Amino acid sequence: MLGLEKHLKAVIIPFWQSLKDHEHGGYYGFVDHQLNIDRFADKSLVSTSRYLYAFSIFYAYLKDESYLAHARHSLAMLLKFKDELNGGFHWMLGYDGRVKSSVKHVYGHAFAIYALSAYYQATHDSSALDLALSSFELIEKHAHQGTFRYHEEFTHDWHPKDNELLSAHGEDHPYTTNTLLHLMEAYTGLFQASGIPIIKMRVQEFITGFKEVLYCKKDRLFHLYLDFQGNVVPIGQSYGHDIEACWLLDEAMLGIDSKDPEMNQILLDVEQAVYERSMTQEGMISEIIKGHINSERIWWIQAEAMVGFMNHYEKTGDLKYLQAIHSLYTFTMKTLYDGRPGSEWLWGVDCNMKPIASRGYAGPWKAPYHNGRAMIELLKRGLK
Instruction: Please give the span between the terminal C-alpha atoms of the chain, in angstroms, as a whole number.
Output: 5
Q: Quickly list DSSP for 324-344.
A: HHHHHHHHIIIIIB---TT--
Residue 268: count of CB within 10 angstroms of its CB: 16
Residue 171 is predicted with a pLDDT of 58
Q: 200 phi and psi, to 5 degrees?
A: -60, -40
Residue among 370, 360, 354, 367 at smallest CA distance from 37: 360
What burial class does residue 361 get, using C-beta atoms within 10 Å of its C-beta: 0-12 exposed, 13-18 middle, 19+ buried?
A: buried
CATH number for the domain spanning 243: value is 1.50.10.10
327-348 average pLDDT score: 96
Q: Quick: pLDDT tens for 13-51.
A: 999 999 999 999 999 999 999 999 999 999 999 999 999
Q: What is the DSSP letter of 51?
A: H
What burial class does residue 83 get, using C-beta atoms within 10 Å of its C-beta: 0-12 exposed, 13-18 middle, 19+ buried?
A: middle
Q: Quick: pLDDT tens for 165-194.
A: 987 665 577 899 999 999 999 999 999 999
In this predicted structure, the answer to whether residue 67 has a pLDDT above a threshold of 60 is yes
72-96 average pLDDT score: 98
Provide the β-strand partners of residue 283: 280
Residue partners of 146: CB distance under 8 A and separation at least 6: 230
- How far apart, in Å, are the Cα atoms of 39 and each of 30, 42, 310? 8, 9, 38
Find how far residue 143's CA is from the centre of its chain.
Answer: 20
Question: Domain total for the chain?
Answer: 1
- How far apart, in Å, are the Cα atoms of 48 and each of 58, 79, 108, 153, 340? 15, 10, 10, 19, 25
CB 20 within 8 A of CB 70: yes
In this predicted structure, the answer to whether residue 136 has a pLDDT above a threshold of 60 is yes
Structural domain range at position 111: 4-380
Q: How far apart are CA 314 and CA 58, in angstroms?
A: 23
- Angle between the 126-142 and 177-194 helix axes, to the nearest 10 degrees? 140
pLDDT band at 196 (very low <50, low <70, confident <90, very high): very high
Q: What is the pTM of this model?
A: 0.97
CB 260 within 8 A of CB 211: yes
Residue partners of 279: CB distance under 8 A and separation at least 6: 305, 324, 327
pLDDT band at 2 (very low <50, low <70, confident <90, very high): confident
pLDDT band at 154 (very low <50, low <70, confident <90, very high): very high
316-332 average pLDDT score: 98
Q: How far apart are CA 131 and CA 58, in angstroms?
A: 21
In this predicted structure, the answer to whether residue 11 has a pLDDT above a threshold of 60 is yes
Provide the CB-side half-sphere exposure for 245 (13 A, CA). 33
53-68 average pLDDT score: 98
In this predicted structure, the answer to whether residue 280 has a pLDDT above a threshold of 90 is yes
In this predicted structure, the answer to whether residue 266 has a pLDDT above a threshold of 90 is yes
Q: How far apart are CA 52 and CA 69, in angstroms?
A: 11
- How far apart, in Å, are the Cα atoms of 173 and each of 186, 275, 277, 334? 22, 27, 25, 38
